[in-house]
């Protein structure tokens, strides 16, 4: 396996593979006919090798996005081995999820420099080595670095380019391909907890981390099969680009020598500001009120969205439930996502839903239901009650996952979607970093896991209400502006129309009279 990965890694062409950076730096416009689009770029084949790319993306998402949820299986063992509190232990999945989402800009830079395939392979190596190294950790700080930072960065470098590759290979069937690839997260949620529980019973948490590190190395194989589209650029174009770069570099160096420190600072700012605008759309927070409301609501929701996934197994086992049955609850949650996510994606992709602007309200309702469902978990700890909680939570979680990017695409322009996604990822990473530790502090201070779920209920319900009311208020404001603009147009259109009517009524009279006189003269 490693020999095959090394051969693929050596054979990748950075000039060709760099086209994958299109997702991060440009809009998603593609042509649907001919061998090339209007810009001379490749056209998505909508099949063929694309289905292999989709299958590889499913595996990558299963091993990355769903992986932090299985850390809850090792929660008690980590506490006992390191004599750590709930707060200290909860930092492990918190750092992992935060780095996973905050690594978007770094991933974008690597994609532009190396391409999607090489970035995925690097991410697979980092995540595998991070988990393998964490099995030798002797302190919680070492675990934070290996399992949290290194493994989380590997996840970030693997899953984002994988989603990008699906967008390159599919245009007409993109909705269906995205629906299939989203099964990966649900597949990981249903299988990784069971696998982690089996490994824990056989090898302990250290042996389990070592085996899971080997499993994560399969991301390299998934990245190796994601070959890029398109042909190599012409040698003349590359030579011209090299000459232009050298000329710009020389001019920049001369300018910096003349202006000194001030010139260097200006040159640095002139490079940093376009980068921030390209990868993190801070300007949209001021110019687009819909995006501002959506970003704030989603970020607030993420503060408690993943906390139940981390604390469900410790909560169930703390009140006498067997570890196997608790892990089964997580598997059922994943199975619900496997069933509901593709179904909702296909339903929302029907022609009757195309162009609908009500997805934001449906998303807000799903967030509200997801938050309120945590009250069910806090009421009792019996298996039937927790099973009902998992069903409601999993259904609403599937709706949120299906509509999260759809609402964002409807909120911002297509050309600004990558940068808007990068900004939201940064904001989410802060909440992911704070959520589990705050829940750990609540458990340590009260010795009750139920309060964590009640707090998550308040967090989710308030986030759903905020998104719903914000969009409703902005829609009302927009309707008023449209009505007022139409009113002004009607008033202004009446004035010139009256003039034209008078002129039109007046001008034919002498013409008509002249015509009659001419006729009489002729007679």
pLDDT at 356 exceeding the cut of 70: no
CATH number of 47-229, picked from 3.90.1150.10, 3.50.50.60, 3.40.50.11540, 1.20.1250.20: 1.20.1250.20
Task: Specify the DSSP element, H or E, that contains 431.
Answer: helix 417-446
* Residue 132: predicted pLDDT: 93
pLDDT digits (tens, 9 = 90+) for 229-265: 764 444 334 444 545 555 455 554 555 444 555 666 6
CATH 1.20.1250.20 domain span(s) along the chain? 47-229, 280-485
Give the alpha-carbon dihedral of 97, 343, 407, 275, to 10 degrees.
50
Please write the tens of the pLDDT for every residue from 268-280: 656 666 666 666 6
Does residue 14 register a pLDDT over 60? no
Instruction: Give the model confidence (pLDDT) of 82-128 as tens digits.
Output: 888 888 888 888 899 889 888 877 887 788 788 888 999 999 999 99
- Averaged pLDDT for residues 335-364: 76
- CA-to-CA dists, residue 110 to 8, 59, 116, 161, 415, angstroms: 18, 21, 8, 10, 20
pLDDT(437) > 60? yes
Model confidence band, residue 20 (pLDDT cutoffs 50, 70, 90)? very low
Predicted pLDDT of residue 357: 66
Give dist(CA 427, CA 435) in Å, integer. 13
Share of the chain above pLDDT 90, in %: 20
Phi, psi angle pair for 12, to nearest 5°: -75, 145
Per-residue pLDDT for 399 more than 90?
no
The model carries a pTM of: 0.67
**CATH architecture, domain defined by 280-485:** Up-down Bundle (1.20)
Eight-class DSSP state of 36: B
Highest mean pLDDT among 129-133, 191-195, 438-442: 129-133
Closest by alpha carbon to 43, among 168, 184, 152, 163?
A: 168
Tell me what the pLDDT averaged over the chain comes to.
Answer: 76
């Amino acid at each position: 396996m490693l020999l095959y990965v090394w051969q693929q890694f050596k054979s990748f062409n950075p000039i060709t593979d760099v086209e994958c950076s299109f997702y991060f730096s440009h809009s998603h416009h593609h042509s649907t006919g001919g061998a090339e689009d209007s810009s001379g770029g490749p056209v998505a084949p909508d099949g063929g090798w694309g289905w292999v790319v989709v299958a590889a993306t499913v595996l990558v998402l299963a091993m990355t996005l769903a992986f932090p949820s299985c850390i809850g299986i090792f929660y008690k063992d980590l506490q006992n081995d390191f004599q750590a509190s709930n707060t200290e232990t909860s930092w492990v999945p918190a750092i992992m999820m935060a780095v996973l989402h905050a690594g978007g800009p770094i991933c974008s830079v690597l994609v532009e420099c190396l391409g999607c395939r090489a970035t995925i392979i690097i991410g697979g190596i980092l995540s595998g080595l991070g988990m393998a190294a964490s099995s030798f950790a002797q302190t919680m700080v070492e675990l934070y670095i290996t399992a949290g930072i290194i493994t989380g960065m590997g996840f970030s470098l693997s899953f984002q380019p994988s989603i990008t590759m699906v967008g390159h290979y599919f245009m007409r069937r993109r909705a269906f391909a995205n629906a299939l690839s989203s099964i990966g997260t649900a597949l990981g949620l249903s299988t990784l907890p069971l696998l982690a529980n089996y490994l824990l019973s056989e090898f302990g948490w250290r042996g389990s981390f070592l085996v899971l590190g080997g499993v994560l190395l399969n991301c390299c194989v998934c990245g190796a099969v994601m070959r890029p589209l398109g042909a190599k650029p012409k040698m003349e174009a590359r030579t011209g680009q090299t000459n232009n770069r050298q000329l710009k570099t020389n001019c920049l160096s001369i300018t910096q020598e003349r202006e000194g420190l001030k010139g260097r600072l200006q040159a640095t700012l002139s490079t940093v500001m376009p980068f921030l605008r390209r990868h993190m759309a801070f300007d949209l927070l001021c110019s687009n009120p819909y995006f501002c409301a959506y970003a704030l609501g989603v970020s607030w929701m993420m503060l408690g969205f993943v906390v139940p996934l981390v604390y469900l197994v410790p909560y169930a086992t703390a009140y006498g439930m067997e570890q196997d049955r608790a892990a089964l609850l997580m598997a059922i949650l994943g199975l619900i996502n496997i069933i509901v996510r593709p179904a909702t994606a296909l339903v929302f992709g029907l022609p009757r839903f195309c162009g609908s602007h009500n997805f934001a309200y449906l998303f807000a309702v799903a967030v509200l239901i997801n938050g309120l469902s945590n009250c069910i978990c806090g009421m009792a700890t019996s298996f039937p009650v927790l099973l009902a909680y998992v069903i409601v939570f999993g259904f609403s979680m599937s709706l949120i996952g299906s509509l999260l990017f759809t609402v964002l695409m409807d909120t911002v322009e297509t050309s600004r979607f990558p940068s808007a996604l990068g900004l939201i990822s940064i904001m989410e990473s802060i909440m992911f970093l704070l959520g589990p530790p705050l829940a750990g502090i609540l458990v340590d201070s009260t010795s009750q896991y139920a309060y964590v779920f009640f707090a998550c209920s308040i967090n989710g319900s308030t986030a759903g209400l905020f998104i719903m009311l914000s969009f409703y208020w902005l829609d009302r404001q927009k309707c008023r502006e449209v009505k007022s603009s139409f009113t002004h147009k009607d008033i202004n259109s009446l004035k010139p129309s009256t003039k034209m009517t008078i002129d039109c009524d007046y001008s034919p009279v002498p013409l008509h009279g002249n015509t009659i006189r001419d006729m009489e003269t002729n007679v």
